[in-house]
Structure 1
Amino acid sequence: MTSIDIRENLSLFDDAFSIHRQIPEFQIDSTTYDQLIERINNVKHPLILVAYINNQPVGYLMGYERYSSFYIWIAGVLPNHRRHGIFDQLINRTEQWAIKEKYNSLTIKTRNSFKSMLLFLISHDFKLIDIDKRQSVNTHRLILEKQLINSQNLSSN
């Protein structure tokens, strides 16, 4: 089994963007380097994780605080590295980080057309909480949330 190295640092943006440019699902929007870096540099409590195999970036996740939850803004794994547990490790690391940072939930938005992402999220205890309707059903944004278990939650019960 290949070892996956997950690194956390805002300085990994260029590696994350290099992966982003290779994700077929993200080519439908023409988000530029400048647009992405401006956003991640102007949010509260940003996080960038990059997954490496043999020192090559193969997956990433970027997020930030939004409405007192930790929002997974954008994430992906290169197509030829999917179904090898990389995204699972990115999500697990994000959960651990969010719990340590005292967040009570993770939120994420996906499109109705991204069936494999939706199935992944549901299988990892994310629940559908809202729909942002767009022009076509396939482009509707599905908003999902996962409640986190942390010691702060446990002591308030």
Structure 2
Amino acid sequence: MNANANVIIREGTIAECIEISKNIPEFSNNLYDESTYHQRLFNTQHLILVAIKQQELVGFKIAYDRYRDGSLYSWLGGVLPRHRQDRIASKLAIEQEKWALKIGFQSIVLKTRNRFRNMLIFALKNGFLIENIEIKENIDDNRIILRKNLIIDK
């Protein structure tokens, strides 16, 4: 799909995403097993992207048609800490947006938590707007729902 700055973005597999997840600190307490991935992606349009740098899996992004309302739900993704300055998350997001537009999605929706400030900042810098907040007992666990419109109304 994209081979920019020695990073290759291509469609990937659930197994590759699980392998990458094991080395991402933010997932250390919440690793999903393979059956969870299959349940989420079963019988729905979805996209699994992986990033490869120097033949090493360094990041991934998974999205699917969760709400069936014209939005693509960007469910899960991450980049290995030592590669976070390589703009890999941006490259994955760009490829995801291209695919979403090609398929006909009108927007991308994602959820993050207060504790994942880097993800929140990344989303805001990349054109997402806060749409809603789910309040949890611990403020760090509040879910922040963001949306980026892909099709501009004229």
TM-score normalised by L of structure 1: 0.88
Equivalent residues, number: 149
Q: 2:103 pairs with 101, 104, 128, which one?
A: 101
The answer for the alignment partner of 2:123 in structure 1 is 121
CA displacement, residues 61-95 of structure 1 (integer Å, 9 cap, x when unaligned):
01101222000000000111112110000000001
Deviation at 1:2, TM superposition (A): 4.4
The answer for the alignment partner of 2:55 in structure 1 is 55
Change (3 A) 1:76 1:43: farther
The answer for the alignment partner of 1:34 in structure 2 is 35
Is residue 2:79 matched to residue 1:77?
yes
**Which residue type is aligned with residue 33 of structure 2?**
T
The answer for the alignment partner of 2:15 in structure 1 is 14
**Aligned residues: percent identity?**
34
The answer for the alignment partner of 1:24 in structure 2 is 25
Q: In the TM superposition, what are the counterparts of 1:127-138 in structure 2 within 5 Å?
A: 127-138=129-140
CA distance in 2, matches of 1:87, 1:43: 26
Structure 1: runs of 5+ lacking an equivalent: none
CA displacement, residues 83-126 of structure 1 (integer Å, 9 cap, x when unaligned):
21100000000010001011110000001111111111100010
Contact 2:52 2:58 in 1 (8 A): yes
Change (3 A) 1:95 1:30: closer
CA distance in 2, matches of 1:94, 1:43: 19
Q: 2:7 pairs with 4, 28, 46, which one?
A: 4
The answer for the alignment partner of 2:114 in structure 1 is 112
Structure 1 residue ranges (4+ consecutive) displaced by more than 6 angstroms after TM superposition: none
Change (3 A) 1:7 1:147: same
TM-score normalised by L of structure 2: 0.90
Aligned Cα root-mean-square deviation (Å): 1.6
CA distance in 1, matches of 2:43, 2:82: 31
Q: In the TM superposition, what are the counterparts of 1:141-152 in structure 2 within 5 Å?
A: 141-149=143-151
Deviation at 1:30, TM superposition (A): 4.3
